[in-house]
Amino acid sequence: MNTISRRSLLASATALAASFGLSALPLRAQNGATTLRLPLTRASGNLDPQRYVGIFAVQDMVFDPLVHYGPGGSVEPGLAESWEVNADDTAIIFHLRPNVTFTDGEPWNAESMVWNLERWLPKEDYRWLQCANNFKEIEVIDPMTVALHFTKPTPTALTELSYVRPVRFLSPKAVTADGTYASPVGTGPWMVEKDGPEGTDLVANPGFWGDKPAVDRVSLIVIPDGMSRISSIMSGEIDAIGGKFIAPVSPQDATTLKANGVTVVTETGTDTMILGFNPRTDLFKDARLREAFNLLIDREGIAQVVMKGYAKATMNLYPEVIAHSGTRFEVPARDVEKAKALLEEAGWTGDGTRTKDGTPLDVELVISEDAVPGSRALGEVLQAGFLEAGIGLSLRNVDHAARHGDIPSFKYDLSLFVTNGAPYDPYNTIGLMFLSSIEPGTDGKIYEDAALDPLIVAALSAAEADRPAAFQAVFDWIHDNWAIAPLFHGDRIWAHGERIKTFAIPATEYELPLKSLSL
């Protein structure tokens, strides 16, 4: 019988351990000078720019828009070198950028532009965009000049044409015979080299018309677990992490990363966390009740404790970085006595949980960690604050699918909402989540009132010069009627390792910080 001596066993075990150790070494050596490694929460998926499946950031890398969304809502040239908007906002003439080709060699011109626009602009499914809703016709003026005509003033059109989807441009040859999307071929700075469930590798487009990226390759690695993303940046296996729709960093994560010496970069967010009152229940039709709830919220405390200082308390619908976001409203200090007085005045009386005509003041807050991360902790803080004034608040935790059923059908008393942020606001949130004449989408309505509708319609169709005042009228109505309870503008958080030398947070949460980044 063959026997294994103790010495040979030890030798084999050591050799095995060494082989594992050595095979791990390339981990550090792999950090090639110009390959940037970033995490994604899920695989890139189908990147068809007209579908809503792929990861925004990857679509943004491959496909260019006519115009880009810049900081503060400015509109910058993209595949359109310049443009002219007519006096009543019913037409835009685009002068297309010359000498641009798709990465498969197809030329960028009026023909390819029209082919792309016809894939979505006249279709019913895209009516949530004002430019699609008001679409009249496309006019080809010459091979490099195209005009878009609308049935009515559409001042939102330029901003909408900077979105990631469905407005980006695909090569007309990157589809099958029946017109179905086949491969990710655009004019953007990056080309997809490899794509799968583990991640997506992209290489710089050598023929890109704009500034060349500072790195040659980007490797996007799927790391679904938040804790693993934190570990991988701390171990140096990835270079940066962040972006709400890319690889989100929570305030707690940011605190951990900072404590471990990782560079954390922040900027004021472009969205707002809001506590919404169900506008279709009798309970919240009384403005005194809405005011009392507003006064019971400790916004500064929430920003400092729940959000670890990575948020700014607010009473505004939009943060200042959003165009036409209006004047800043004063954030009220928590005033329990005034709230109690308002509740008494509204007929809610008694010790313990208040009652009115025998009905207790028990309300339900729908929370969903899937849809609104951090909503449980926030709900618990609100619960404690409301209890002090005799309001019973129960938390109902639902997942993304259940929230999609309950919120549009108004099956809640209170719910947490987040505004759409850049580049969608200031138009999308008030258009889709406040206007009562439009039926609620999957995100529901933050508030609705027939008296507010004309103000919103006026703001959405106002000419540029009148727009600030028109938007301000909407914000004033919402504020004066205590229609919502804005809580805070959460910071945009990114963290990066030592390999990154220059870094700046991009204009939206839908793009990677590649333009400003160098290794």
Partner 1 sequence: MLRITLNRAVSAAILIVIASIFSFILIAAFPGNVAALIAELRGGFVSQEVVDQVAEEYRLNDPLILRYFHWLGDVVQGQLGHSLRTGESVAEALAERLKPTAVLVVGGSLVTLIMGVSLGFAGALWPNGLADRLIRVFAVFNVSLPKFFLAAMLIYVFGVQLQLLPTFGFRGPASWLLPCIAVGAVPGALLSRLIRVGLEEAMAKPYVITAKAKGFARRRILFRDALPNIVPVFLTAFGMNIAFITQSALIIEPIFSWNGVGAYFVEAARFRDLPVLQSCLLMFSVLFILVNLAVDLIVMMADPLQRRAKRG
Q: Measured from the CB atom, is 128 or 454 closer to partner 1?
A: 128
Please calculate the CA angle 261-264-266 and round it to the nearest 5 degrees.
Answer: 165
Residue 24 near partner 1 by CB under 8 A: yes
Tell me: does residue 497 bind partner 1 (CB under 8 A): no
Query: Hey, which residues does 357 pair with through a beta bridge?
Result: none
261 lies in the binding site for partner 1 (CB under 8 A): no
Shortest CB 450 distance to partner 1, Å: 20
Q: How far apart are CA 214 and CA 34, in angstroms?
A: 8
Q: Tell me if 84 contacts partner 1 by CB under 8 A.
A: no
The correct pick among 4, 7, 20, 451 for binding partner 1 (CB under 8 A) is 20
Query: Is residue 331 near partner 1 by the rule CB under 8 A?
Result: no
Number of Cβ within 10 Å of residue 255's Cβ equals 14
Q: Least CB distance from residue 197 to partner 1, whole Å? A: 4
By CB under 8 A, tell whether 93 contacts partner 1. Answer: no
The residue within the footprint of partner 1, chosen from 398, 459, 460, 507 (CB under 8 A), is 398
Of 261, 439, 450, 451, the residue at the interface with partner 1 (CB under 8 A) is 439
- 275 vs 398, beta carbon nearer partner 1: 398
What residues contact residue 400 under an 8 Å CB cut-off, 6+ apart?
368, 370, 371
Q: Given CA atoms 494, 499, 503, 508 in this order, what sign does their dihedral have?
A: negative
How many residues does this entry show for the chain?
Answer: 519
Quote the CA–CA distance of 376 and 294 in Å, as a whole number: 19
Can you tell me which of 408, 449, 472, 515 binds partner 1, judged by CB under 8 A? 408
Asked if 122 touches partner 1 (CB under 8 A), the answer is no
Cβ–Cβ under 8 Å, residues 36 and 239? yes
How many Cβ atoms are within 10 Å of 516's Cβ, its own excluded?
11
Token pair of 432 as six digits: 């889709």
CA distance 319 to 256: 27
Q: Binders of partner 1: how many residues, by CB under 8 A?
A: 49
> CB under 8 A: which stretch of 23-31, 249-257, 317-325, 507-515 binds partner 1?
23-31
- The helices-and-strands tally (H runs, E runs) of the chain is 16, 21
Figure out which of the listed residues 122, 400, 463, 469 binds partner 1, where binding follows CB under 8 A.
400
Q: Give the binding range for partner 1 (CB under 8 A) out of 65-73, 82-90, 393-401, 465-473.
A: 393-401
Does residue 8 interact with partner 1 by CB under 8 A? no
- In the complex, what is the shortest distance from the CB of residue 48 to partner 1, in angstroms, rounded to a whole number? 11
Amino acid at 352: G
Nearest Cα neighbor of 314 from 349, 279, 271 is 271
224 binds partner 1 (CB under 8 A): yes
Specify which residues 150 forms β-bridges with: 135
> 419 and 316 in contact (C-beta within 8 Å)?
no
Nearer to partner 1, 123 or 285 (CB): 123
Judged by CB under 8 A, the stretch of 222-230, 239-247, 297-305, 460-468 that binds partner 1 is 222-230
Cβ–Cβ under 8 Å, residues 42 and 56: no
What are the beta bridge partners of residue 486?
274
**Contact flag: residue 221 with partner 1 (CB under 8 A):** yes
The reply to whether omega before 166 is within 30° of 0 (cis) is: yes
Task: For the CB of residue 42, give the shortest distance to partner 1 in the complex, in Å.
Answer: 7
Given the rule CB under 8 A, which residues bind partner 1?
A: 19-21, 23-24, 27-28, 42-43, 45-46, 51-53, 125-129, 166, 197-198, 221-225, 227-228, 231-232, 234-237, 370, 398-405, 408, 432, 439, 441-442
